[in-house]
Amino acid sequence: MRFLQLLLFGGCGIGVLGEAWAQVDPDKRQLVEFGYNQSFQGSAPIAAYAYYYVNLPDWPREGQTLRVAVAPVYLDAELAFREALGPNTHLALGLAGGGFADSYSEVRGGKYLKEESFTGNGGELSGSLYHLFNPGALIPLNGIVRAAVHYTDYEESNRTAPAFATPPDSTSLRVRTGLRWGGREPLLTPRAAMELSTWYEGDFTVNSGRYGFAGDRAARPQSHLFWSRALLAYTLPESEHYFAVSLTAGTSIGSDRLTGYKLGAVLPLGAEFPLSVPGYYAQELHARQFALLGGLYTVPLDAAKHWHLSTFAATAIVDYTPGMAQPGDWHSGLGGGLGYTSADKVWEINVGYAYGVDAIRSDGRGAHTIGLTLQYDLEARRAQHKSADPEVSPEKSRGLQRLFRGVFGN
């Protein structure tokens, strides 16, 4: 059961900011993604994702796009009808759900409290509108309006305390809207990416209520999240040095333990908006509002540029969710790792070490983790067998690459 839980999170993402794309993906993709963090100190919640992601333009029919992310116990699928409501407006219908999808791990003061953690199984039906505001522009500006009906069935895990009551099963309406200028491909290290985006998500629950020990905490009937992200990533053409930097900030109204922001661990493709703080447990920091700055720099080690060395760091200031406060508002982490990318760009694997500078542990401040990420790109493999034509190669030129080359040189 623990192994199945570990494999779950690829479908739904870890943390609150999960998958809700601001555009219909125009590229055919078949990706296998895996990520895992292991802490050296104490008992920690599962920090992992594993899933198969496929995006099929013009399937099952021309003018439609099927996107599916599937893990052993979770499925997230969406069928888009391109230009259904006009030349630049797409309609999409989604279905998602599975076991452990809404499970909750209580981490308070740097300690994982199994007796206050529980299992949540859930599913949802959604409808989305995607609109491109600037057709033909080098950097697209996309908007999304999405509504979903979500159901969650909460139950005790085998370690939940007998006196601890789980939240009431709930049905909620979830609404998300946002604007995204640019974007980032769902890859570990895209050749080039830039994004400025801003988002709102509202959660309106029909049957909220109190839970915990003698009702000492509440699931609130409404929560409203507001967040923005700025991101830049680029691969220097000749040296193949790669850098990425991002700034994400958010606030909320009416959020609680279940609906607020959760920061921690380094799981780059575990959610659309991963709130990573190196060295920390997954979802260790519960925030009512936050600001998170992170960066990564990678340098090739060999002439063929298959092996690379990376260094990364992040720092966040946190205003805690009620009941989840701890000493200190700043949390920082850093680390480094070794990676390998195959000559055909099909395989990418990275191993690394991270140190959570301000993480609270039983022996004081400071936490240590190791991590592993892996990506297998089936479409890159097929492209290698088709031809060397740059239009079908995984290295084909994109608008953002052309823009960045003008800044950083050829």
Segment 302-353, tens digit of pLDDT: 999 999 999 999 999 999 999 999 999 999 999 999 999 999 999 999 999 9
pLDDT of residue 14: 33
The 10s digit of each residue's pLDDT in 240-295 is 999 999 999 999 999 999 999 999 999 999 999 999 999 999 999 999 999 999 99
Say how many C-beta atoms besides its own lie within 10 A of residue 150's C-beta: 20
Distance CA 78, CA 95 (A): 6
Place of tokens 């809700």: 20
Residue ranges of domains in the chain, CATH in brackets: 2-408 (2.40.160.50)
Yes or no: say if 39 and 356 are a contact pair by the CB < 8 Å rule.
no
pLDDT of residue 11: 33
pLDDT of residue 142: 96
* C-alpha pair distances (Å), 338 with each of 218, 296, 345: 44, 13, 16
Q: What is the CA radius of gyration of the chain?
A: 21
Amino acid identity for residue 161 in this structure: A
Instruction: Give the pLDDT mean for 161-175.
Output: 97
pLDDT of residue 405: 54
Yes or no: say if 265 and 37 are a contact pair by the CB < 8 Å rule.
yes
* C-alpha pair distances (Å), 63 with each of 39, 57, 84, 159: 46, 8, 9, 49
Place of tokens 């870890």: 14
Yes or no: say if 263 and 284 are a contact pair by the CB < 8 Å rule.
yes
Rounded to 5 degrees, φ, ψ at 406 are -70, -25
For residue 320, list its beta bridge partners: 287
Yes or no: say if 294 and 276 are a contact pair by the CB < 8 Å rule.
yes
- Does the pLDDT of residue 395 top 90, yes or no? no
72 or 408: which leads in pLDDT: 72
Yes or no: say if 336 and 352 are a contact pair by the CB < 8 Å rule.
yes
pLDDT band (50, 70, 90) for residue 402: low
Which element (helix H / strand E) includes 93? strand 89-98
pTM: 0.90
Beta strands in 166-255 (DSSP E): 170-183, 192-205, 209-213, 217-219, 222-235, 242-253
Q: Are strands 64-71 and 261-263 parallel, antiparallel or unpaired?
A: unpaired
Rounded to 5 degrees, φ, ψ at 35 are -150, 145
* C-alpha pair distances (Å), 93 with each of 77, 98, 256: 8, 18, 29
The 10s digit of each residue's pLDDT in 202-238 is 999 988 899 999 999 999 999 999 999 999 999 999 9
Provide the 8-state DSSP code for 72: T
Amino acid identity for residue 145 in this structure: V
